[in-house]
Every structure is written in C-alpha cells, then in structure tokens.
C-alpha cells in the first residue's frame, strides 16, 4: 500500500520523528547512525545532532558512550559516522566489498608499513599517526591526511583492520578491532549474504532520515550497491513491510518511511522549541527534499572559498515547530559563544512566544557549550 500525504503532514511527521526528545543511546537506536565531522566551531557534528535531541547534552558527552562504555564506535557508513556496536557483523560488506577503491590501492602499495603498524600497536597498545610520522608528504585536502602513516592508518580504519580505540583532541588512536568491539558482538559471524546486507543498509538509510526519496543524492547511497541492487532491496523491504512507500504533496513525489514510524503521522508534534541543527544532521541529508518539503535551501559552505559563500563558514539551520526559521554562523571564542551573523528566513516575524523559545534555546545551548556568555544575538 502506498500512502499519500501532504507537505504539511510530512513536515509534522519529520518534526516528531527527529525531535521527540530521547537519551543518547535512544537516539542511536532511533537513527542508527550519526555522521562525524572533525570541525569544531560550536561542537562537532555528532555533538550538534545529539544536543538537538537529548536534554542536558554537553559537548563531547558521546565520547564516554564510544570509548568507555563501548556502546557505539567509529565506522565508515554514509561517510565517517558513529554507529551502534551491534552493527559490527552487519558491516562486514562495507569493510570489504564497499570500502573506497583507493583503500586497496594505498594498502597494496604499503604492505611493509601495514605490518609495521600492526606490530607496533600489538606491542604498545593504541597509537596515533604521530608515532609513525616521516618526511613523506601528500597534497592537502584528502580525507586520508597528508602523511604516509596517516594515509595507511585511515585506509586500515576504513577497511576495519583497525578501529578507533579513543581520541585525544579529535585525533584517532587506533587498535585492533577485537580490542574495541565487545566480544559479544565481535564473535558473531559476519553478514555475507548480499541481498540481506542491501536490505539492511537501505533500511538503515531510511531509518536515519525518516522520510527518504529513492532519488536522493548519491552520497546517501554510499555502500548501498548499484541502482538495480537498490531497486531490488527497496522492493523486498516494501514486500516484507519494513518500509512503506509514501507519495508527498501535489507532485506525488515518492518517499519511503520506516513502517514502524507510520503511527507518528497521527501523533501531535512535540511542543515547539527552537533547535540549532548540525550541518550534517540526517534530517538535512537530502537537501532537495528539504527544499521541496520546507522551502528551505541549505548548502554547507565550509569548504567553499570565502568569496564564493552566500552565508558563512559554519552555518547552522534554526528549526522551530515544523519549519526552518533562521540560520546562524557562530563559533566559540574562549568561553564566549560569538554569533557573527544571524539571518531570519523570509516571512518570519518573531512574536513573544518565539522570542521566549529562542531565549530558552540560547540558555540551553550555552550549557551545551559550557560557555559563560553569548554575544551577537539577533534583534527581535
């Protein structure tokens, strides 16, 4: 059965799906994956994702869940992400079949260094690339880094040969996966059935976004197979009622939602609150869908040259109720949250209720940042 809902219903559903408050482990169970990015103007992307959903969350709270409690771990998913440790056997095909092609090229070109890295980690415990630096340098701009050791370590990480044991100031310290993944999950047999894997990973993509177009941008389908493989997986997931096809709006654009979330269509959205969203929040993954559903054009400009930016370096969308109301560019400077720019969306006229909600959100964001004060708040 294919549902037909309005854009207004879709917006209310997504607000309920994403912003009904939860605890940290509940967010990972609900979304299945949280994208990681190392840039840290006001917390890193996972911090921003979690503060939008977890009351009382503070910067870096996720690290205890990852590196002490071992409830989540760093993995290659859509991009670099944090995922539940129970995913380990399911991600065997990402580690092998779908690892980026240059991982193989880098590792095949450096077999001696691979052995050296393993021997050092086995002898000394978790190590970072700093312990292996040499004079070899590569052009800047690569996700793998500019040094020989970093490139090989990151390739080994993407392939699951090493995992992040912990971080210091964002830097990975690597160890053998059997010393990172709890034995109850590491000992499980890997998922090697391709059809089962593609059903699992595509269901996870739909789960992360909540309402997802099959024609969403290519980056969303990383490690999800070819077009025909995805088409088959979608059909199988609909047949077994894991996902439900949904036509949205007058144009009847095709989306999929988790069947388990259908009941949320009849649920009142949570009480409106102002929410600052991370640039890689899974709600924002499909930028064309956000434009279609919310009339909100968003482009992350952090890697654009300054003269080509329309908005700013690290612009966060601001959400309220079931719509985007503003965007801001800000950063921490010492203990001060400095808002350099704030742009209201067209048609937004802040009333007393919105002003109160914004003041409450600012107070909570200051606690999240562990900041002492804020400068640059918008005039209302």
- Summarize pLDDT for 321-377 with one digit per residue, the tens: 999 999 999 999 999 999 999 999 999 999 999 999 999 999 999 999 999 999 999
Check whether 137 has a pLDDT greater than 80.
no
Domain at 279-375, CATH from 3.30.160, 3.40.630, 2.30.30, 2.60.40: 3.40.630
Task: Return the percentage of the chain with pLDDT > 70, whole number.
Answer: 95
Residue 136's pLDDT is 63
- Residues 276 and 369 sit within 8 Å (Cβ to Cβ): no
Q: Return d(Cα 236, Cα 152) in angstroms, integer.
A: 38
- Residues 318 and 296 sit within 8 Å (Cβ to Cβ): no
Q: Return d(Cα 172, Cα 159) in angstroms, integer.
A: 15
The residue assigned the tokens 């991370």 is 278
What the block records as the tokens of 20 is: 């009904």
The CA-atom distances, in angstroms, between 274 and each of 164, 308, 364, 371, 378 are 34, 29, 10, 19, 14
pLDDT band with cut points at 50, 70 and 90 for residue 123: very high
pLDDT band with cut points at 50, 70 and 90 for residue 138: low
The CA-atom distances, in angstroms, between 276 and each of 1, 6, 189 are 36, 25, 40
How large is the average pLDDT for residues 221-234?
Answer: 95
Strands 315-320 and 274-276: antiparallel
The DSSP bridge partners found for residue 329 are: 315, 341
Residue 97's pLDDT is 81
pLDDT band with cut points at 50, 70 and 90 for residue 145: low
pLDDT band with cut points at 50, 70 and 90 for residue 100: low
- Residues 173 and 127 sit within 8 Å (Cβ to Cβ): yes
The DSSP bridge partners found for residue 80 are: 76
Alpha-helix residue ranges (DSSP H) falling in 210-275: 227-239
Residue 106's pLDDT is 83
The residue assigned the tokens 């690892």 is 99
All structural domains of the chain with their residue ranges = 279-375
Check whether 135 has a pLDDT greater than 60.
no
The DSSP bridge partners found for residue 374 are: 337
Burial class (CB in 10 A: 0-12, 13-18, 19+), 155: buried
What the block records as the tokens of 256 is: 């999929």
- Residues 173 and 166 sit within 8 Å (Cβ to Cβ): yes
How large is the average pLDDT for residues 253-281?
Answer: 96
């Amino acid at each position: 059965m294919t549902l037909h809902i309005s854009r207004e219903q879709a917006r209310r559903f997504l607000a309920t799906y994403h912003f009904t408050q939860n605890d940290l482990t509940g967010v990972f169970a609900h979304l299945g994956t949280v994208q990681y990015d190392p840039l840290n103007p006001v917390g890193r992307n996972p911090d921003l994702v979690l503060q939008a959903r977890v009351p009382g969350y503070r910067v870096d709270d996720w690290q205890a869940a990852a590196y002490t409690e071992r409830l989540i771990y760093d993995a290659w998913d859509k991009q670099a992400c944090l995922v539940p440790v129970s995913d380990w056997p399911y991600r065997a095909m990402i580690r092998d079949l779908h690892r980026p092609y240059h991982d193989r090229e880098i590792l095949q070109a450096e077999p001696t260094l691979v052995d050296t890295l393993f021997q050092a980690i086995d002898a000394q415990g978790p190590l970072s690339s700093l312990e292996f630096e040499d004079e070899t340098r590569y052009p800047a701009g690569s996700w793998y880094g500019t040094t020989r050791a970093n490139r090989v370590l990151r390739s080994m990480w993407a392939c699951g040969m090493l995992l992040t044991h912990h971080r210091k100031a964002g830097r990975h310290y690597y160890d053998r996966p059997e010393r990172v993944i709890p034995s109850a999950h590491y000992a499980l047999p890997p998922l090697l059935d391709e059809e089962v894997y593609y059903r699992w990973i595509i269901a996870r993509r739909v789960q992360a976004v909540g309402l997802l177009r099959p024609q969403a941008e290519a980056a969303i389908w990383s490690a999800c197979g070819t077009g025909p493989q995805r088409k088959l997986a979608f059909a199988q997931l609909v047949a077994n009622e894991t996902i439900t096809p949904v036509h949205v709006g007058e144009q009847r654009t095709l989306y999929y939602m988790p069947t388990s979330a259908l009941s949320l269509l009849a649920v009142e959205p949570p009480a409106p609150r102002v929410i600052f969203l991370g640039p890689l929040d899974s709600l924002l993954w499909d930028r064309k869908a956000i434009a279609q559903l919310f009339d909100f054009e968003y482009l992350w400009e952090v890697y654009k040259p300054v003269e080509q930016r329309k908005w700013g370096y690290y612009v966060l969308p601001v959400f309220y109720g079931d719509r985007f109301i503003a965007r801001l560019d800000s950063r921490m400077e010492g203990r001060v949250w400095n808002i350099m720019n704030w742009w209201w969306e067209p048609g937004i006229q802040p009333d007393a209720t919105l002003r109160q909600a914004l003041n409450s959100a600012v107070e909570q964001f200051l606690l999240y940042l562990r900041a002492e004060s804020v400068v640059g708040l918008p005039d209302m």
